[in-house]
Chains A and B, each alone.
Chain A
Amino acid sequence: MKKLLLLGVVLFLAGCVTSYDLKKTGDAKLWSAYSVSNQETLNETKSEKVIVWTKYGPILEAIQFWKPVEDGQLLPLNSSVESDKRQRYQSDMTISEIVEIYREDLTGTGKIVISMTEPETVSFGGKEAYRVQSILSDKNGYDFKNELILSVIDDKLYMIELTSAAVHYFDERKKTFDKVIQSIKI
């Protein structure tokens, strides 16, 4: 009886854990909007707003492909600030304004933004895009590095983000992230 109960508890808890599927190498179509080439075996999970790829686990590192944001929508970050008090994306915003609301929303997730670089031009499948790097810390003093690639295409905001532990994992995963970004096809 005890064993059955224990099994029940284990199964119940397992149900609460986000499940990941094996993502094999090859091309991947994301949000029916663009495709990227994946050159290593990874773990993938999908939700309504984001597709996450991770090799060592999401606490250590994750590449997040956010669902393209439409005019008037909130950025898809899990900010604890009430939604009616957050700024929304507007398609005629400048990049620096978008980066400002991204920074505010990051702060709303409980992370402390220690520094953030100015937007730097990169390519997103041949379209104009920008790269912003941040150093973040959480309330317990754990440090993270983050790189966001953002592009406004047909009034929609495309965001791909690498977030990882500041020590070791950012440099380790950056190479993969750069290859993914270079492989974008629209």
Chain B
Amino acid sequence: MSFLKNIVAGASLLVMAACTTTNSSKLESGERPDLRSTEAGLWYQMDKYEQQIATSALVEEDVELNRYVRGVLCKITGPYCNDLRLYIINQPHFNATMAPNGSMYVWTGLLLRMQSEDQLATVLGHEFAHYQHRHSLQKFEAAKATAEFISFFSLATAGVGGGFIGLAAAVGGVGAIQSYSRELEHEADGEGAKLIISKGYNPWEAVKIWENVQAEQKAAEDDDQEADDDSMRPANSGGSYFWASHPPTEDRIKALTKEAEASGYNVSKSNTANSRFKNIHAKWKVKWLEEMLVVTPLKPSLLVLDKQLETNLSTGLHAYYKGEAYRKEGSEESLTFALLEYKKAREAGNVPVDVTKKMGIVARRQGKSEQSIQYFQAYLTENSNAKDYSQVQSYLKRLMVKK
């Protein structure tokens, strides 16, 4: 049924594409496409998807967080603000997408990796530039003239029963509406940079984002390579949908550096609004870090964690989550590192109370039953009201029996 719907929707897009005129000028605030236009067809598809996603648990509804991110979006988009709908999506990968109908989807994995409001404004500005300059439509028009149309067609129509975010997730963000040509990406970078500079944000932060993305991509590739070399080692399918559609190339970084140099901003100039950013970020950091660790391999996880130190992650929590990343990876070497990090976390203090239990788990995995028993006993002594008290007691019982 959904297949049939896709065919019908695809056919209607084709008919519209063949019979109608298109407009590739800049979109004005409050403007809606002519109902007979191809653009209206694209909007219609995205409106349907947006309706579906708006009520999903995927959308983070926290009022304070939404108000803050939307506030930054409105600051940089000015009169366009009322045309835009922002959805914060509970997905731990680094991604943000903008649909041609004005719906913007920012993933929590991206928010985690942002180090300042300037960086957040950069990403929002970049995505907004795709919208304002009708890049989806331009991509559609360009694709129509090439074999690429087939992929665009199937992806655009899948939006009827699938979804915009779903599509990005399913195809890794490649080849569809979200994968623009190098020219369109450069235009979005440039326009986005101009926009944020005009609102007092530091464009050097844009350079930093791409350097961080580049480093994380490299770490993920190294990790994949090592996982392939060692078939006994589990690996998550990390990677990012964002860098698949927004490659962090050298020329991109160079172009943004040029833009920043021309702006006259100092690299280290800090934005006063960043204290607001830090407060919000601090509130969500732990949740987002925990979710990130489920889907991200060891090396990029460690990189993200190290970057968090720059946004006030305490040394205790930094060590605790590094311990978590090593423990989840599970190799003999990693378990040794995990135990060291947990010890550091304990010494630093202000870390989750289960750190001692985690040490017991690692020691047990290392085959050190005696040590494991000691850690579990210490955990029970320190946390007599722990919810998992009976659970840990049962581990202890099993370890004692085996001893």
Contacts and interface: CB of A to CB of B under 8 A. Distances in A.
Nearest to B159: A140
Contact of B391 (A84, A130, A143): A130
A143 B169 contact: no
Contacts of B237: 80-81, 108
B328 interface: yes
B234 A141 contact: no
B214 to A, nearest CB: 25
A73 B169 CA distance: 29
A112 B390 contact: no
Interface string A68-83: 0000000000001100
A104 interface: yes
Interface in A127-185: 128, 130, 135-143, 166
B244 to A, nearest CB: 15
B361 interface: yes
A23 interface: no
A97 interface: yes
A121 B57 contact: no
B90 A114 contact: yes
A37 interface: no
A100 B58 contact: no
Contact of B294 (A92, A95, A107, A135): A107
B311 interface: no
A92 B166 contact: no
Contacts of A86: 234
Interface residues of B, number: 37
B328 A100 contact: yes
B398 A121 contact: no
A141 B170 CA distance: 13
A87 interface: yes
Contacts of A104: 236, 294
A114 B58 contact: yes
A166 B294 contact: no
Contacts of B361: 94, 96-97
Interface string B366-403: 00000000000000000000011011001100100000
A112 B294 contact: no
Nearest to A118: B387
B53 to A, nearest CB: 4
B391 A119 contact: yes
B57 A135 contact: yes
B65 interface: no
Contacts of A87: 234, 330
B340 interface: no
Interface residues on A, range: 35 or more
B161 A140 contact: yes
B390 A137 contact: no
Interface string B71-83: 0000000000000
Contact of A137 (B57, B161, B234, B295): B57
A85 interface: yes
A113 interface: yes
A55 interface: no
A139 B162 CA distance: 8
A81 B239 CA distance: 13
A49 interface: no
A107 B170 CA distance: 13
B227 interface: yes
A141 B364 CA distance: 40
B21 interface: no
Contacts of B37: none
B231 A84 contact: yes
A156 to B, nearest CB: 14
Nearest to B354: A96
A1 to B, nearest CB: 25
B91 interface: yes
B165 interface: yes
Nearest to B170: A139
A94 B362 CA distance: 11
A140 B162 contact: yes
A94 B358 CA distance: 10
Interface string A105-121: 00110001110001111
A81 B53 CA distance: 26
A112 B90 contact: yes
B56 interface: yes
A83 to B, nearest CB: 10
Interface of A: 80-81, 84-87, 92, 94-97, 100, 103-104, 107-108, 112-114, 118-121, 128, 130, 135-143, 166
24 contacts: A84-B231, A85-B234, A92-B398, A94-B361, A96-B361, A96-B388, A97-B361, A104-B236, A107-B294, A107-B295, A114-B90, A118-B387, A118-B388, A135-B57, A137-B57, A138-B166, A139-B163, A140-B52, A140-B166, A141-B55, A141-B56, A141-B58, A141-B163, A166-B57
Given A112-B58, A120-B387, A130-B391, 7 more contacts: A85-B227, A86-B234, A94-B361, A140-B162, A141-B53, A141-B166, A143-B57
- Nearest 7 A-B pairs (CB), nearest first? A139-B166, A141-B56, A141-B53, A140-B163, A143-B57, A137-B58, A85-B235
